[in-house]
Structure 1
């Protein structure tokens, strides 16, 4: 026979277990998926087609540093495909501002690959949406394990960041198929900028640093557009954009960037027939 005290304890345990079952049902609900809402907010609910034969997205499954996660977007269109890549939108679903960047591509530049670095705030799907010349949207996705990227402290201290603000560098890479003035080239634009997300905390004052980032970038060879980027808080500190394009024989390469405080940064570089 159970004593009165033990019977009471057993009754309380059973009651607690019953409450637990009610609070946590046997069949857990599906985790919230923000993607349908993002399709509505970012793409106005336009149909999304399978983009596995159109575009590839490459990111590490587990990021080494959530504040500088590498991402590469690559066209998979075959040379005989009459369609052209017009724009690519990069969406990091679980980030506070999910649209990381939108790249519009110059009609004659034939950009086929873009790489950059992004902040990832939590475990998330990352979508790449390509818009082709047929007016349709094609989507692919990948999953990334990372957390805290949007609130990670800046690498540079504020004084160093101010000294490098708006400094732009251009770099050209040699390619095996780069034999003539109108061949495919690979280049990189680097911009000195803290790209503050608005979620980072000043380590001295313990106050949040206001959002302050590059929101526009335009790149030309001579006067012909190569690409434009609409950026957000998910682009890492010191934005770094690497891309391929087809040369039109231009003698100059230039870039213009704008940030959310209204600063405009411009730079022009001379290039020769070998692309150097």
Structure 2
């Protein structure tokens, strides 16, 4: 099953099981949350065992979100040489499977930052997948409400202006053998399908970035499959290994067939 089909299936399951979606909140017990996570994990990972960890992946998120539509998440993977991919799940969102990031040979997977929507009081799970096929999970509880249905604060037309434009920033001086930190910014409203147009009073159809591929020269840095839980105008902080030459190429697609490519000049080491 593809990521998109799985995310859609989880979304429909959440919508149909309205009791689970509506009742999820501050009154849920730990047992309720654990049962929900086990159901989601089984949908994504089938019968693969997932072990708790305090070393392979860590989730940093605010205990109470200032803006439920723009919640910063930091995933730290101290044993980065063992990491193949990371899965981000926001348990009580309408579509829980927020992102799947697979790391390529040019990646430094020690840390990944992104901004998400959080629709309710929920656990946020990160599942690290190691190169030997193991799955290890960590979680953080976040208090937020209404992030997936929060309006953009502008018309749909304004939100879509410049859609697909990209910028990239690099932090610090480049030194041989050391990873380079980068911030990728993509202009896209990432409509969730749950937001009401403030002019027409109709719901804006879902239109969101479903895949981002970043390459450094001939080598892949990462591929991220995303869903409606990724915040509007996505910002992704990542690191790559500045070995070799070539531009950084970013390709992004959305669920309505949009496709954009941009190339950025990669910084070089100052010897």
Gaps of 5+ in 1: 1-27
Q: CA deviation at 1:170?
A: 1.1
Write the distance in 2 (CA, Å) between the matches of 1:230 and 1:267. Answer: 18
What is the TM-score with the length of structure 1 in the denominator? 0.83
2:175 aligned with 1:179: yes
Q: CA deviation at 1:156?
A: 4.1
2:46 alignment partner in structure 1: 44
User: For this pair of structures, how many residues does the alignment match?
Assistant: 241
**1:88-114 Cα distance to aligned partner (Å, 9 max, x none):** 000000000000100000134232111
1:61 to 43, 60, 63: 63
User: Over alpha carbons, which structure has the higher Rg?
Assistant: 1
2:222 aligned with 1:227: yes
In 1, are the aligned partners of 2:192 and 2:229 still within 8 Å (CA)?
yes
Write the distance in 2 (CA, Å) between the matches of 1:149 and 1:161. Answer: 17
**1:128-151 Cα distance to aligned partner (Å, 9 max, x none):** 000001110000001000000000
Q: CA deviation at 1:123?
A: 0.1
In 2, are the aligned partners of 1:218 and 1:229 still within 8 Å (CA)?
yes
In 2, are the aligned partners of 1:86 and 1:107 still within 8 Å (CA)?
no
1:197 to 160, 185, 192: 192
Q: CA deviation at 1:225?
A: 0.2
2:20 alignment partner in structure 1: none
2:83 aligned with 1:76: no
1:214 alignment partner in structure 2: 209
Write the distance in 2 (CA, Å) between the matches of 1:155 and 1:44. Answer: 39
Write the distance in 2 (CA, Å) between the matches of 1:85 and 1:47. Answer: 17
2:145 to 143, 147, 172: 147
What is the TM-score with the length of structure 2 in the denominator? 0.84
Write the distance in 2 (CA, Å) between the matches of 1:134 and 1:145. Answer: 34
Q: Name the Cα RMSD after superposition.
A: 1.8
In 2, are the aligned partners of 1:131 and 1:138 still within 8 Å (CA)?
yes
Q: CA deviation at 1:162?
A: 2.5
2:233 to 229, 232, 238: 238
| Higher mean displacement: 30-39 or 46-55 | 30-39
In 1, are the aligned partners of 2:169 and 2:182 still within 8 Å (CA)?
yes
Q: CA deviation at 1:270?
A: 1.5
2:159 aligned with 1:161: yes
Write the distance in 2 (CA, Å) between the matches of 1:156 and 1:85. Answer: 40
Gaps of 5+ in 2: 1-27
**1:139-188 Cα distance to aligned partner (Å, 9 max, x none):** 0001000000000001443222222201011111116xx422x3211001
